[in-house]
A = this chain, B = another copy of it.
């Protein structure tokens, strides 16, 4: 058990099983860089408040920068004996700076650090996911352009409905993912990382933070963070607030819902029966028993992950239900669902962007399907309307024509003028040929 940030009032040593149970280091280590960011600004505020000498402030900042360097070059390994990442970072500073490190936590609570770190994470990852959505949209455009001019079969109720341009079909997905991207960017824009809440009532340093933030950002050239980090305005709300995680996971749930629909369509269209699409072989897997199988596993896994993404949203919503103000330990459990959804979505989108480029359309099968006369029924009704037949009547005429065609196993295209005229005087072979092209 590594050194903890509390304990003076406790007589008994903490129970080992409980300590293991309550630790968060195994997942919150992902927030290390944001914790260091918080500490570095905090140090500036402590220095300005004369709690740290400039020399001591510099010493600690240097120690933190060293740790940050390790994180950036991936050599940082969390000490799994620590309680959480905040403690872990503090212990590392202590190793480098000795007793001086005992001043780092001055007027600061993990309640404030946690929400700051989580917002930092959401800020970065909402940006990353927006970028990946951009790549998927590009791949969809690539596919649409590759098959420019292709017609496609449009469906409602998984039943053939009308002929549409393949580009229009693909544009529907582009439109969905564009909305998703916009939602993420709006979400990101609103995110503000507050500092200075103390445990919940506001730190004694609260008035020092605005200046400290400016000084820090200027010194470190972290322009991207300008305007994003602020001295806290409503401390009890700030440490209680997990709205941003719910918002983020809600947006990701919609992304995932869209992905599941794309997956369902592509699974259908790549069956032997539809046969409109060939999925890229290098993204499929086989069977350990059936030698012929080439399964659309990637699409199935995407569809299946919908459970996980929705479940993570349900998880955080449930956890937050009925919590008294302000911070409660329950809220520690917001991290794993957040990280899980972010990582799944990123993995899906990264692979999907490549996958889509590998899709090939099977023109023959599509053309064959487009011969289906029912796809032109609506156009036929529209023709009748233009001939002054009320739509309700036109709809019924075409309905009966189709029934006749089915009952008599006779294509409309093959019906003679006499037959056609029985349904409407406006119908004849020429008209049919024109519409059923």
Contacts and interface: CB of A to CB of B under 8 A. Distances in A.
Interface string A321-345: 1111111111111001100000000
Contacts of A280: 12, 15
Interface stretch (A66-74, A142-150, A346-354, A425-433): A346-354
Contact of A282 (B15, B271, B281): B15
Given A158-B267, A158-B324, A319-B307, A385 B295 contact: no
A62 interface: no
Nearest to A331: B304
B257 A321 contact: yes
A201 B168 contact: yes
Nearest to A83: B285
A391 B289 CA distance: 9
Interface stretch (A126-134, A214-222, A308-316): A308-316
A102 B391 contact: yes
A322 B264 contact: yes
Contacts of A336: 308
A206 interface: no
Contacts of A199: 156, 161-162, 287, 289-290, 378
A359 interface: no
A392 B304 contact: no
Interface in A227-258: 234-237, 239-241, 243, 246-247, 250, 253-254, 257
A347 B19 CA distance: 11
Given A237-B171, A272-B372, A107 B6 contact: no
A296 B168 contact: no
A320 interface: yes
Chain multiplicity (copies): 4
A268 interface: yes
A306 B289 CA distance: 33
A188 interface: no
Contacts of A283: 14-15, 18
Contacts of A13: 282
A282 B14 contact: yes
A329 B282 CA distance: 16
A107 B385 contact: yes
Given A10-B294, A159-B271, A305 B333 contact: yes
Contacts of A348: 21
A20 to B, nearest CB: 8
A8 B264 contact: no
A111 B288 CA distance: 9
A409 interface: no
A419 interface: no
Given A264-B324, A321-B322, A294 B172 contact: no
A250 B243 CA distance: 11
A95 interface: no
B172 A392 contact: no
A77 interface: no
Interface in A392-415: 392-400, 402-403
20 contacts: A8-B399, A9-B286, A14-B283, A15-B351, A22-B297, A22-B301, A111-B289, A158-B296, A159-B296, A261-B322, A261-B324, A286-B399, A292-B377, A300-B330, A303-B322, A304-B319, A304-B332, A306-B321, A308-B337, A311-B313
Listed from nearest, the 10 A-B pairs whose CB atoms lie closest are A8-B399, A304-B330, A311-B315, A102-B392, A6-B286, A307-B319, A106-B391, A300-B329, A292-B377, A250-B250
Given A158-B271, A261-B322, A321-B321, 12 more contacts: A6-B286, A7-B399, A9-B399, A12-B281, A14-B282, A86-B288, A159-B293, A169-B325, A175-B237, A246-B254, A306-B319, A313-B313
